[in-house]
A = this chain, B = another copy of it.
Amino acid sequence: MTTEKLPRRILLGPGPSNVDDRVYEAMSRPLMGHLDPEFLVLMDECQELLRHVFGTRNRMTIPISGTGSAGMEAAAVNVIEPGDRVVVAVAGVFGVRLAEQARRNGAEVVTVETEWGTPIDAGAVAEALRDGPTKAVAVVHAETSTGVLQPLEGIIEAAHDNGALVIVDAVTSIGGHPVDVDAREIDLCYAGTQKCLSCPPGLAPFTMNDRALEVITSRQVPVRSWYLDMSLLANYWGSDRVYHHTAPVSMIYALHEALSIIVEEGMQARAERHHRNHLAFVAGVEAMGMKMQVDDPAQRLWSLNAVVVPDGVDEAAVRGALLNGHGIEIGGGLGPLAGKIWRVGLMGASSTSNNVLLLLAALEGALKMQGHTVPMGAGVAAAVEFFVA
């Protein structure tokens, strides 16, 4: 097999999303050394671009050399010391993973749970905080496994009222939904590159404020991970430029370009685009007689649309038909939602009106192949109507 013959997919799954050709071009520019003066300029710019996208002035804002999950691990391993009490909001796979990360780092983990497909109640988090001194509250902003947009304000307030740091997973929201790290007073936030930032997977944008930095620098025991130790990483990304590990140079080129594209579009225009395409898609889904997994429209992610699989439909066969017949990737459910939902990503460069229309059309065909009755053309018609309104 050679990569020359790889198919060109329309990526409407839970990530990666499609990538602008400019990003591919940037990624394949000639390598430089990771301490080359020209590369250091690019690193500085990358940090500044990340600050813009995170909505922060945090000095310590860097892309971690691993995927989004490495970002999650970096937050956990730097903040948590053995025996620390950590409250984790769990309403999906990534909440479960956050709790597992905290546990592996020796935390006494208190989970606040709710049914998958609904957001965590801030009151329940506040209650968990009252039971004992808590080091950190961890919460997933955009739960990729359920399609829920988690409101953050009440949780952040409760955490700070109780002296706890707030860790926010913004993997599937950054670049699609407003994250606003500084305005919301989020202490640590991590993300991934392959969702609404439309950059290939491999880096984890990460930011933390001085309050978090203070907690980390006053640790009693060293950070267990050398690779993700923020105090060491700060020396490479800071003005000292002390060699830590060899930065993934090509990925940094790609991220620099992907972030530049976002700045050109404008954060607000980008969020509005995600919102609009999401609404059009939902209109189409409902016109086809299907329903969304998340009931309350205000609680739905714009970037990740969880659609309930109609009774009697083989969900994997539908995904197969979309992939093989149309080159379209969508995702299946995870954990308790496996087999029950499709996860449709409308992220970054993949969030276009054309993709919405094409997917609805292709979905109609795939459902009919399964013997499932769908009102003819109703999905596409509803989306068209939305777009021209």
Closest approach, in angstroms, between the C-beta of A148 and any C-beta of chain B?
19
The number of chain A residues with a CB under 8 A from chain B is: 73
Measured between beta carbons, the chain B residues less than 8 angstroms from A246 are 15-16, 67-69, 192, 194, 201
Judge whether B73 and A201 touch: CB under 8 Å: no
Judge whether A223 and B104 touch: CB under 8 Å: yes
Judge whether B194 and A1 touch: CB under 8 Å: no
Stretch of A34-42, A129-137, A178-186, A352-360 with 4 or more beta carbons under 8 angstroms from chain B: A34-42
Judge whether A33 and B243 touch: CB under 8 Å: no
Bound complex: CA A248 to CA B70 (Å): 12
CB < 8 Å: which of B31, B38, B257 contacts A16? B31
User: Given contacts A202-B65, A202-B251, is CB(A9)–CB(B25) below 8 Å?
Assistant: no
The reply on A124 being an interface residue by CB < 8 A is: no
Judge whether B224 and A224 touch: CB under 8 Å: yes
- Nearest residue (CB) in B for A171 is B246
Closest approach, in angstroms, between the C-beta of A1 and any C-beta of chain B?
6
User: Given contacts A33-B9, A200-B249, A329-B36, is CB(A224)–CB(B3) below 8 Å?
Assistant: no
The reply on A205 being an interface residue by CB < 8 A is: no
User: Given contacts A202-B65, A225-B104, A226-B101, is CB(A33)–CB(B250) below 8 Å?
Assistant: no
Bound complex: CA A50 to CA B72 (Å): 28
The reply on A379 being an interface residue by CB < 8 A is: no
- Nearest residue (CB) in B for A245 is B69
Closest approach, in angstroms, between the C-beta of A346 and any C-beta of chain B?
15
Closest approach, in angstroms, between the C-beta of A11 and any C-beta of chain B?
6
Judge whether A250 and B202 touch: CB under 8 Å: yes
Instruction: Indicate with 1 or 0, residue by residue over A225-244, a CB within 8 angstroms of chain B CB atoms.
Output: 11100000000000000011
- Nearest residue (CB) in B for A201 is B246
Measured between beta carbons, the chain B residues less than 8 angstroms from A100 are 226
Closest approach, in angstroms, between the C-beta of A340 and any C-beta of chain B?
16
Bound complex: CA A77 to CA B16 (Å): 28
Judge whether A32 and B45 touch: CB under 8 Å: no
Judge whether A31 and B3 touch: CB under 8 Å: no
The reply on A334 being an interface residue by CB < 8 A is: yes
The reply on A160 being an interface residue by CB < 8 A is: no
- Nearest residue (CB) in B for A19 is B31
Q: Report the 7 A-B pairs with minimum CB-CB distance, sorted nearest first.
A: A202-B248, A24-B28, A69-B245, A200-B250, A28-B28, A3-B26, A8-B30
Point out residues on A near B: beta carbons under 8 Å.
1-4, 6-9, 11, 13, 15-16, 18-19, 24-34, 36-38, 41-42, 45, 65-70, 73, 77, 97, 100-101, 104-105, 192, 194, 200-202, 222-227, 243-251, 253-254, 256-257, 260, 323, 329, 331, 334
Given contact pairs A9-B31, A31-B200, A202-B248, enumerate 6 new A-B contacts (beta carbons under 8 Å).
A9-B33, A11-B32, A36-B323, A73-B226, A97-B226, A100-B226
24 pairs, A vs B, C-beta closer than 8 Å: A1-B41, A3-B26, A3-B42, A6-B38, A7-B30, A11-B31, A16-B33, A19-B31, A24-B28, A25-B28, A27-B250, A31-B194, A31-B200, A34-B201, A65-B70, A67-B245, A67-B248, A68-B245, A69-B226, A69-B245, A77-B225, A201-B247, A201-B249, A224-B224
